[in-house]
Amino acid sequence: MRRAVSVAAAVVAALAAVAAVLQLATWFATEGPGPANQPPSMADVGGPFRLAASNGGTLDSASLAGKPFAVFFGYTHCPEVCPTTLYELSSALEHLGEEARDLRVFFVTVDPERDTVAFLRDYLANFDPRIVALTGTPEETAAVAKAYRAYYEKVPTGDGDYTMNHTASVFLMGRDGRFFGSLGYGEDRETRLQKLRRLIRER
C-alpha cells in the first residue's frame, strides 16, 4: 500500500513538471519571444494577495514587507506530497528555532471547495503552529497561483470524487517580496536548512 502511494505521488510530481513545461510552451505559441514579450522569469514569480487565514481574519501580503516567507500550494486531501512537505517544513522550523523568528510559512489551498478555514485549522493542528493556511474563492486561488507560476488541476476519480494535481515545490520569497528560490519535493534535510538559512539571513 505504501509503495502504491509513493508511486502515485511520484506520478503527480512528474505531471506537475510536465505541466510547467507545457505552460511555458503555450506562452511561446501564443505570445512569442518578442522584445516586449519576454518569457516568464524568476522576477515574475510572486505578487500581492489577500486571503482568509486559518488563524483568523484575513492575511494581506502587504503585511509581509520586510519579512522572508515561504509559500506552498497544496490541499488537505493530498495523500503524500502535502503532508510530507508540511512535516518537513515543521521539522525545519523546529530545528532553526529562534533563527526563524521572522520567517513566515503559508500553505495555500488549491482546493477551496473542500478546504474551508475551519477544516484547514484542524488539519494544521498536526504541524508546526507557525504554519498558516490560506484560502480564497476559486477566482482568488487562481490569481495567486498564476502570480506564483504554480500549477494545479482538478482530476475526477472513478468514484465520483476528485483529486488535485499541483506543483510540489515550496516558493521562497525574500524580505523585498521577490522570488529567492525554492525547496524541491524530496530534497534532503540539510539542503532545505541551508536554503532557509540563506533566505533568513539575506538582506
Given a cut of 50, whether residue 20 has pLDDT beyond it is no
Question: For 78-107, how does the pLDDT look when each residue is reduced to its tens digit (9 = 90+)?
Answer: 999 999 999 999 999 999 999 999 999 999
Helix (H, G, I), strand (E, B) or coil at 62: helix
Helix (H, G, I), strand (E, B) or coil at 94: helix
Provide the grid cell at 144.
495567486
Which one, of 67, 68, 108, 103, lies nearest residue 86 by Cα? Answer: 108
Query: Looking at residue 42, what is its pLDDT?
Result: 60
Handedness of CA 37, 41, 43, 44 (dihedral sign): positive
Question: For 95-146, how does the pLDDT look when each residue is reduced to its tens digit (9 = 90+)?
Answer: 999 999 999 999 999 999 999 999 999 999 999 999 999 999 999 999 999 9
Could you tell me which residue, 11 or 81, shows the higher pLDDT?
A: 81
Give the pLDDT band of residue 203 (cuts 50, 70, 90): confident
Helix (H) or strand (E) holding 182: strand 179-183
Give me the domains of the chain, ranges plus CATH numbers: 2-201 (3.40.30.10)
Helix (H) or strand (E) holding 142: helix 138-147
Report yes or no on whether pTM surpasses 0.85: no
Q: Which string of b and e fits 106-120 if b means at least 16 CB within 10 Å?
A: bbbbbbbeebebebb
